[in-house]
Structure formats: C-alpha cells, structure tokens
Amino acid sequence: MISIETHNLTVSYNRRPVLWNIDFELPTGKIIGIIGPNGSGKTTLLKAIMGLVPTSSGYVKIFDQDLNDVRSRVSYVPQRESVDWDFPASVMDIVLMGRYKKDTLFKRISKADKDLAAEALEKVNMLEYSNRQISQLSGGQQQRVFIARSLAQGADIYIMDEPFVGVDAATEEAILKLLSDMKDEGKTVVVVHHDLQTAKDFFDWIVLLNTRMVAAGPIEEIFNEKLLQEAYGGKLNVLSQVGDLMKEKAFDVRE
C-alpha cells in the first residue's frame, strides 16, 4: 500500500521554486529518510505534505485521499527550534494535545486519554517528568516529549523534522528503538535527516532531494556515490573527507 504520494509538487517562495516537480510514492510500514544538502527543500517538503505551505502546482495524497479527509491518521513533529518552549505547559499537557482532534476540540479529557498519554511518555522514558514544565527540560527531553505527543495521537503516519538534532546518544538510541517498534506495528515513519554517516543505518527507504527529486527507493538502491554526488555535488567530497577522518580517528558521529 502507498502511504504518501506526491505528483508534480512545486512550492515557491517569492516566485523562486524551493521544490520543483516532486513525484514519488512512499510505501507503508517503512522508516523513510528525506536526505539532501542544506537548502534543498527537505523541511518545505514535510510542510507541503502537511498542508502548512501553499503549493504552486501538483498535489499530495495520503492513503490515496486528501489530507483533510485523513488528518487524524497523520502526526507531525516539527523541528525543535521552531517551537516556543517558554509556553507555560507541563509535559503531560503537551502530550495530551495529541488526543485532541478536529471534531473533539472542546471535549473533556477522559481517563482513557490520560492513560494513553502516560503510555506514550513511558515509551520515550519521560513518564517521571509528567508534571515538569516543558521549558525546564533539556533539548533531548523536549524532543522526546514532542514524539510522545505524536504517539498519543495514535496515527498511522508519523512525519518528523530532524528528530535527532541536538540529542544525546541515549536519546538517539531511544528514538531509534521507538521508530523500529512503530515500523513493526505497521506504521510509516518519514524523517528529515541531515547526517549521511548514519542514514544508511537508520532508514529502509530514501528520498534524495535537492530542490528537485534526485531519486527515491530502497536504501540499497539509492544510497550510492553516483546519486549522492548528483544530490550534493562538491559538498559530497567534503562530507567524504569528514567520514574518512571519523573512521581514521574513531570519532563519534556527534564529535
């Protein structure tokens, strides 16, 4: 089954195309990486899928339907930097937001909702912080809370914008385990990711992007030097040198 399809998708800012004629079909039940250099349109692609930016042409289908008809089945985790973390809300308050839907916006939170929120927090190892103000958490903890909010929604597709940025090794490992569990449950996870060194280990499927779509498919078919060179150009040489240095010196990826 196809989870997300785009056809002739173009997005422009000030008449300048940021995404140009994007066509792909993403399978259900995979962990999918959106990969490309800075400024290649990765975040814009996620926002276009979620209907958060106007499109110049083309369309997006979710399970062969318009987003508004299946919105409750799609959950979005934005970049952490785009969130106002000073907003006065507790960890539990944030996660319970995942239980509100368009047709139940003014309903009272039930015990079942609270149980699902607590279960989501437990999955990201944040249950003990339920009453903590969100502004008091570290960056990695805040990321886990937003993923818990996404889990509490009970969606079928999870769209995440750079969830591994600014997190420690323990959080990265916890998120990876969570994504794997979600995949085992038949969920589809779409992740914008910037680190080529780890992409091959994280994803089953890749969309390689640089304003236009370079390629999309299983990672063993797409993750090769020819297509990466096409997407990154001269930047790939620098990344390759960094990778060689990491291997030679046995540096951790974050270092």
* pTM (predicted TM-score): 0.85
What single DSSP character describes residue 82? G
Locate 228 and state its tokens: 């990466």
Rounded (5°) CA angle 110-114-120: 145
- Number of domains comprising the chain: 1
Question: Looking at residue 232, which CATH number applies to its domain?
Answer: 3.40.50.300
Assess contact for 253 and 197: CB atoms under 8 A. yes
Assess contact for 228 and 236: CB atoms under 8 A. yes
- The CA distance from 194 to 132, in Å, is 31
Locate 90 and state its tokens: 């507790």
241 is a domain residue: yes
Assess contact for 95 and 76: CB atoms under 8 A. no
Pick from 34, 50, 81, 5: which is nearest to 155 by CA?
50
- The CA distance from 216 to 124, in Å, is 30
Provide the residue-wise pLDDT of the chain in tens; the chain has 255 residues.
899 999 999 998 887 888 999 999 999 999 999 999 988 999 999 999 999 999 999 999 999 999 999 998 999 998 877 777 677 889 999 999 888 765 555 567 788 889 999 999 998 889 999 999 988 988 888 888 989 999 999 899 999 999 888 788 888 888 889 999 999 999 999 999 988 888 888 999 999 999 899 999 999 999 988 999 888 886 555 444 544 554 555 554 444
Kindly give the pairing relationship between strand 31-35 and strand 205-210: parallel
Q: Quick one: which H or E segment has residue 189?
A: strand 188-192
127 is a domain residue: no
103 is a domain residue: no
Assess contact for 254 and 169: CB atoms under 8 A. yes
98 is a domain residue: no
149 is a domain residue: no
What range does the domain containing 170 cover? 2-84+156-249
92 is a domain residue: no
Query: Which residues, 6 or more positions from 15, have their beta carbon under 8 angstroms from its beta carbon?
Result: none
